[in-house]
Structure 1
């Protein structure tokens, strides 16, 4: 998997190749099943490298990894025929973390109702539910070239008491 730092701020500029800002990482993968765990691991490693380890961040990291797994899996399953690559972008700012997945398929997916008889089809419903429960937001946007970006943005947890060792700049063994 290739990691680049070409940042974009919205679906219209995703493919324009703008230079990245701080706190933005892109992971590009082939549209195949093995890309799901590789992308999830790359995102997890980046989150941990950015200081999101410890109890304070556990629920956020778990939610983000579930979201990235579902979004990349959907792109691989439904867009592979029209999308030679799947792009995942991770953006971290002081207030939130945003995960976006871009593919070249024009179909705009919708969250399906929970139907216990029908297998599959609930990934976006799960993403929407996890995102809203965390106090975030998610959406689907079209790109200029006819593809789509599906994104979810989750708020960072409130800082814990000083000296808990849960902050990204704190050393619990110091």
Structure 2
């Protein structure tokens, strides 16, 4: 996956209230965008990608809503790459790799996110906002 995120030709941004309904809307929007971009929804990376997306939006709804009235999802894709980010305005930045190594605080959706991401040969990164009051979790998967 040598494609740089900025170079991905397809992009879509969705901002939603940080409510449980955001999970379904984010997933449906992903399916629609992928189909419009000509990405086969039966590709082996798409099902896991939708689950990862759902887990990340769920985490924002459960844990960030008190400080973040909105969650933003950024979708991007190219010929060999699928990427997305979930952004909220809660300052806590989870340790993604601790969920895989067992050094986290127990089973979590992040463990599922990381197992799926790494199992597909993808990457995950947390990027804090410049003001320290929010973050994005970026997932990049091969297509």
* Fold match by TM threshold 0.5: yes
Whole-angstrom distance in 2 between the partners of 1:94 and 1:28: 25
Select the residue among 69, 72, 93 that pairs with 1:84.
69
State the match for 2:56 in structure 1: 71
> Structure 1 or 2: larger strand share?
2
Select the residue among 59, 83, 93 that pairs with 1:108.
93
Deviation at 1:54, TM superposition (A): 5.8
What is the SS of the residue equivalent to 1:125? helix
**Do structure 1's residue 148 and structure 2's residue 131 form an aligned pair?**
no
Whole-angstrom distance in 2 between the partners of 1:31 and 1:126: 21
Deviation at 1:47, TM superposition (A): 0.7
What is the SS of the residue equivalent to 2:112? helix
State the match for 1:47 in structure 2: 34
What is the SS of the residue equivalent to 1:108? coil
Structure 1: any 5+ residue segments left out of the alignment? 1-7, 10-20, 157-174
What is the SS of the residue equivalent to 1:129? helix
Whole-angstrom distance in 2 between the partners of 1:127 and 1:136: 11
> Structure 1 or 2: larger helix share?
2
How many residues are matched? 132
Whole-angstrom distance in 2 between the partners of 1:136 and 1:26: 21
Select the residue among 10, 22, 31 that pairs with 1:35.
22
8 A Cα contact 2:91 2:135, kept in partner: yes
Please identify runs of 4+ aligned residues in structure 1 that moved more than 6 A. Answer: none
